[in-house]
Amino acid sequence: MGLEEAVQHVVMKAIQELITKESPASYTAGDSFDLNEQLKKALEELQVTAEAKEQITQRCHELDLQVTMLQEEKMSLVQENEKLLEKLNHVENLEDPSTPAGRRYQQSQQRIDALQAEVFKLETARDELRIKVEFQEKEILNLQEKNEELHRTLNEAQALKDELDVLRHTSDKVEHYEATIETYKKKLEDMSDLKRQLKLLEEKNTSYMQTNIELEEDVKKMAAFKSQVDLYKKQTQELRLQLADETRKANRAEFDAKKLQEKLASLQTEKERLVTERDSLKEALEEMRCSQLQKESSSVQRSGAKAVGAISDSDMLETLPPEIKEKLIRLQHENKMLKLERSSSEGQQLTLLKTMLEDAQSRQNDLETEVRLLSQRNLELESQLEDSREAASVHEGAETRQQLAMAQRRCKELEAQLRERESSLEAMATRLAESCESQSELTEQLEKKAEETRVMEERYQKYLEKAKNVIRTLDTRSPSSAEVVALRNQLQDKAKHIAQLQQELEMFKAQWEKEERLISTAFYNLGAKSQQRSAEERIVHMTGGQSFLARQRQATSKRHNLPGVQTSEFFE
């Protein structure tokens, strides 16, 4: 072991005490726990002693170094002592005048004698000066007595001056207090006006709280109505689909009935009148083509007029002025403006959504009527083709086949257009859903603003209570001007915060109006472009794949129906 003997003896004694304390048979759980603690303590003591040993060894090493240095210094001092002793031995022969040291000694002795004579002279002068000093001290005592008397008189004069200064200071304070009393009187008069204003503000606050509660109840009712409106929308869509299916079935049945009647009439006619009937059928075909062109032009005019009316309605809605133009001065007035703006924005959004839905429904109805007419026309052409096959020539049958193929292509194109319109309507529905989401976000923001206004109202109530307490204290005693200044500063901070909230509200409102305008313009532009595209495709299909006589007749009908075509170009 690397421990010292004393440490080892201590450790051995501790171990022996632990072993010989009690027999192992009589140990219990508590005794074993105590033994463990004692062993831990012994180990800790061992660690402490080991650390102390390391410190002691380090200290011993440092002391050894110091001893070596002191021994070196001792050796150097011994050498210097020997040198000095040698010099002393040389200096002992001073009385001999023949040596240079003796000469120096005599010279120094002469100097000492001269200095002693000078010292005697100085002592005599000192005695004379002592006598003079005693005389001067007596004079100084007399002068000190006179000086003390003068100091007493001066202190009395200084005390009188201090009393004068104190009296002047008190007079200045009296004047200052009189001025402050006058100012406090004026402030008391002002505080009476403030009391009246506080009463008016409390009345306004109660009225605003009542309006706030009423508006919250209206919002809850509107949420219930929204769910009912969604259910009604779904039901109307289902009913429209059912109505479209029923109208198709009815048209088919009507056409079948007409076809059977025509077949009965054609069977009853004679074979000799087949040629005349063929001519009449040709004329009927031409007239029906002209009527079809007229119907298409009239439908284009109707759709253009509806789009123009929708645009004018949307422009009128966009150009409406804001309902609230007054600026917020107090916190209660800001709450009222927030509620009014929220209700007005919801009303404007509902009107816009209603107009957009009405336009989409009108366009869908126009497309459905157009498809229905085309299906009827297709069925009529099929029946005419079957009749003309029996009586007409091969050339005329080819023309009717071409017309039938054209009509079928036209029907397919119209079905494709209808699908495109349905997809565009779905896109518009998604946009409407997005706008509803943005509306919900704006409502959340409005709710946050309402929460902020509620917090500000609570603060305002606290400030009112503080102002009441100040007024009560002013009634009993004169208040401190610092509290009044603090209240004014708080009112100014409140006015600044109200102005900032008003600016944020105006920014949100402007952003919301911009989004609504963009959505409405995109919707109307999409409808106008789709109408223009459908009109152009209609014209292209009508001009291509026809005979010379048919094209000439269509050209004459186009000359009559040019204004209806230009209505689609109006939306570019």
Which of 58, 89, 120 finishes a domain? 89
Domain shared by 256 and 356, yes or no: yes
Domain shared by 476 and 555, yes or no: yes
What lies within 8 Å, CB to CB, of 260 at 6+ separation is none
How far from the centroid of its chain's Cα atoms is residue 437's Cα? Answer: 19
- What gap in Å lies between CA 359 and CA 523, rounded to an integer? 10
Domain shared by 174 and 42, yes or no: no
What is the per-residue pLDDT for 93? 54
pTM, two decimal places: 0.22
CB 529 within 8 A of CB 571: yes
What is the per-residue pLDDT for 101? 64
- Report if residue 211 sits inside a domain: no
Domain shared by 299 and 354, yes or no: yes
According to DSSP, residue 328 is labeled: P
Around Cβ 101, how many Cβ atoms within 10 Å?
A: 14
The boundaries of the domain holding residue 255 are 248-569
What is the per-residue pLDDT for 407? 63
Around Cβ 505, how many Cβ atoms within 10 Å?
A: 19
CA nearest to 465, candidates 185, 211, 205, 186:
205
- What gap in Å lies between CA 439 and CA 352, rounded to an integer? 13
DSSP-assigned states of every residue in 16-33? HHHHHSS-GGG--HHHHH
- Report if residue 282 sits inside a domain: yes
- What's the token pair of residue 418? 């209808």
Domain shared by 517 and 402, yes or no: yes
Distances in whole angstroms, Cα of residue 186 to Cα of each of 179, 180, 476:
11, 10, 15
Tell me the torsion sign for CA atoms 336, 342, 346, 352: positive
- Report if residue 216 sits inside a domain: no
- Report if residue 162 sits inside a domain: yes
- Report if residue 232 sits inside a domain: no
* Structural element, H or E, at residue 96: none
- What gap in Å lies between CA 491 and CA 496, rounded to an integer? 9
- Report if residue 149 sits inside a domain: yes
What is the per-residue pLDDT for 333? 59
CB 554 within 8 A of CB 291: no
Domain shared by 65 and 11, yes or no: yes
Distances in whole angstroms, Cα of residue 101 to Cα of each of 89, 112, 394, 461:
12, 16, 173, 110
Distances in whole angstroms, Cα of residue 47 to Cα of each of 5, 51, 163, 476:
15, 6, 78, 76
- What gap in Å lies between CA 186 and CA 57, rounded to an integer? 88
What is the per-residue pLDDT for 289? 66
- What's the token pair of residue 444? 């959340």
Domain shared by 361 and 274, yes or no: yes
Which of 89, 121, 147 finishes a domain? 89
What is the per-residue pLDDT for 554? 53
Domain shared by 23 and 144, yes or no: no
The three-state (H, E, C) secondary structure of 196-211, written as one string: HHHHHHHHHHHHHHHH
- Report if residue 96 sits inside a domain: no
pLDDT, tens digit only, all 572 positions of the chain:
455 666 666 667 767 776 665 444 444 445 556 666 766 776 777 677 768 777 777 877 788 788 888 888 888 888 888 887 777 666 555 555 666 666 777 787 788 888 888 888 888 877 888 788 788 788 778 777 877 887 787 788 788 888 888 888 887 888 888 888 888 888 778 777 777 877 888 787 777 777 777 777 777 776 666 677 677 677 777 777 777 777 777 777 777 767 776 766 666 666 666 666 666 666 666 677 666 666 665 655 555 444 434 334 444 334 444 444 444 455 555 666 666 666 666 666 666 666 666 766 676 677 677 767 766 776 776 666 666 666 555 555 566 567 667 766 766 776 676 677 667 667 766 766 676 676 667 667 777 777 777 777 777 777 777 767 776 666 554 444 566 677 677 777 777 777 777 777 778 778 777 877 887 777 777 777 777 777 777 776 665 545 445 555 555 544 444 444 444 333 33
Find where tokens 């022996």 sit. Answer: 16
Domain shared by 381 and 268, yes or no: yes
Give the burial string for 455-469 (b: 16+ CB within 10 Å, else e). Answer: ebbeebeeeeeebee
What lies within 8 Å, CB to CB, of 90 at 6+ separation is 101
Domain shared by 21 and 157, yes or no: no
- What's the token pair of residue 285? 């075909």
- What gap in Å lies between CA 549 and CA 163, rounded to an integer? 134
Domain shared by 141 and 282, yes or no: no
CB 334 within 8 A of CB 328: yes
- What gap in Å lies between CA 344 and CA 567, rounded to an integer? 35
Residue 359 carries which side chain, given as an amino acid letter? D
- Report if residue 200 sits inside a domain: no
Tally the domains of the chain.
3
Residue 423 carries which side chain, given as an amino acid letter? S
- What's the token pair of residue 51? 């650390």
Which of 56, 89, 122 finishes a domain? 89
Residue 75's SS3 state is helix
Domain shared by 303 and 376, yes or no: yes
- What gap in Å lies between CA 439 and CA 348, rounded to an integer? 11
CA nearest to 296, candidates 570, 15, 560:
560
Distances in whole angstroms, Cα of residue 127 to Cα of each of 123, 210, 550:
6, 112, 165
CB 341 within 8 A of CB 509: yes
